[in-house]
Chains A and B, each alone.
Chain A
């Protein structure tokens, strides 16, 4: 059932992508270069400069962007992906006129608003009314426009009754709501969004995604910088992969995500990917569906502390896979692995240990839930052969869930423990 949906969305997604590709270009980036000069030792003062005149010249050139060209069409949801330090944030900042490029040109149509952080310029000494106007003007609105939008912002944030309260008296939740509302109500033709916006609890990240989706559906052009491949796969019309400042791939988001994973787990995509353009990638498997469910069999994204985790993942082999091993890794929100498990295929006695091309595999079951309240991710890996080590051919996707409960603690898991503290006999 779910699989039918998947194919349906895929074809409509393709149609949408085709329609958008024929539309006018609203962002046109040509041959962009950017190099940062990073001093070996930071020379911050005149004395250091005078006493070590040579030290000032001892810097390393960090090539953040090398000959990057691309364009974005009207109404597209365009992803820019890459690892930390790949140059994707520099690109965003250059597009947003915060940094200046060394060479190359950027042309945009209409008003472009960057969202690199929520609540830029918020001042705790001012009321939310004043802050919203100030922030709006910083984001590129006129003062009158910013004021006109004030009502909408306060409405969305549900803070109308607190409009004249100084920001320092707001709870952090109220503050985030306000900052977020400012973004939602911002009415730029092109929105440049940095992934850091979507940090925070899962509910908030979800809300961000809903808003992005809404903006996308209303025809707004969105450029999102991220390294969350789930978002890229589910939201983007096209995506672009940057590595070491170079454009490595531009086009299909699934493919961009795949190459990103390969970069992460093999270090570099140049070693084995052959010709960089046009070549069909070495796709081993495709994710059909993945979800978590509770004991009642309902799909969930939040799980109560102590309740078992029901996991369901359906994948489809794109070509024959010999001796496959499936790995599930549970990660905390920083990407640190907490625990994991591996499974091989359950087979009849003399059946071959392989998945034929096109065959689907379902990885499902119940997992004891030792996790303390927090946000977690699940990585699904498929590796070939029962070899040692984690040579993943393919990391399929991150599942994302939240454990809620009332008994937080240090670390991420609770364990059964028979440990007691008793007073020892003898003198005090």
Chain B
């Protein structure tokens, strides 16, 4: 019936207010514009933050309590059994800081896996930039990170670490870590609707990653090939820098701890993951509502 449009008058009687037509392009990563993305992102992250903790008696305190409890266990194991506190300066605070940072990555990516599927009702019934979903998960985790860092710095001060200007470098570290977390979240969340295995694989992978990242120990404590492997992990330079900038300024820089080549390689992996995140998500976003 395309005759319908052929008969359409070029200028109607109401042409004074003739509306401007714009193309509907279908759902996509950022479809709907930056402003809408920002507003939705903020609202969804706040909603999720409230929803997670406001039903519980201790509220947002839980976001602090969880890493603290893990910290307690690990501290006992690694100081009593492995005596790491004798070789690593300020070991307890370093451990706490690392746990909080890794916890951020772990929480965000693990929640992101099922995030699109669990928001099925919204995804299938409204139009909005698809990127908002994994991004809001990461943002919620950033909210959780805030109170944790307050606790971390309270510990750091209590342990007698002298405040320095390099502490501000942690902001940069968290920013870069958030970029990586977002990229990974984009990959796992957009693949999950099609391959439900991603959920299980990711759980295992992230716990392996916990040991393949200098969380429990600085890289300097590891020797041999395993050390090179860990050095390739794009998270490693971030954790090494966090140690140097926040806890122990005399610690080796990431380059000194490994080699320029390995640091560049881990950077390359970082870039590849980010690109993969953008490419995969952009490819999946338009059809994600159909896969659910």
Binding site for B on A (CB under 8 A): 22-26, 28, 30-31, 36, 44-47, 49, 69-71, 74, 93-101, 105-110, 112, 114, 116-117, 120-121, 123, 125-126, 130, 133-134, 137-140, 142-143, 189, 247, 249-250, 277
Contacts and interface: CB of A to CB of B under 8 A. Distances in A.
Interface stretch (B14-22, B240-248, B250-258, B262-270): B14-22
Contacts of A23: 12-14
Give the contact-size bracket for chain B: 35 or more
B66 interface: no
Given A46-B197, A97-B31, A36 B290 contact: yes
B55 A125 contact: yes
Contacts of A142: 35-36, 39
Nearest to B3: A277
A97 B14 contact: no
B193 to A, nearest CB: 9
Given A22-B13, A69-B1, A250-B4, A108 B195 contact: no
8 contacts: A24-B18, A45-B195, A106-B23, A108-B22, A121-B126, A125-B50, A134-B44, A143-B42
B36 A140 contact: yes
A142 B40 CA distance: 9
Interface of B: 1-5, 8-9, 12-15, 17-28, 31-32, 35-36, 39-40, 42-44, 47, 50-51, 54-55, 121-128, 194-197, 286-287, 289-290
Contact of A46 (B19, B25, B195, B287): B195
Contact of B127 (A30, A114, A189): A114
Contacts of B126: 96, 98, 114, 116, 120-121, 138-140
A54 B89 CA distance: 57
Max count, chain A CB within 10 A of own CB: residue among B21, B27, B122 = B21
| A contact face: mostly helix, strand, loop, or mixed | mixed
Contacts of A250: 1, 4
B4 to A, nearest CB: 6
B197 A117 contact: no
A99 B4 contact: no
A134 B197 contact: no
B95 to A, nearest CB: 34
B47 A25 contact: no
Contacts of B286: 100
Contact of A143 (B39, B47, B287): B39
Contacts of B5: 25, 28, 30, 69-71
A125 B197 contact: no
Max count, chain A CB within 10 A of own CB: residue among B18, B43, B122, B126 = B126
B196 A44 contact: yes
A94 B14 contact: no
Contacts of A125: 50-51, 54-55
Contacts of B287: 99-100
A129 B128 CA distance: 21
Contacts of B124: 93, 98, 116
A98 B1 contact: no
Contacts of B22: 107-109
A139 B39 CA distance: 12
Contacts of B40: 137-138
A114 B126 CA distance: 7
A69 B26 CA distance: 17
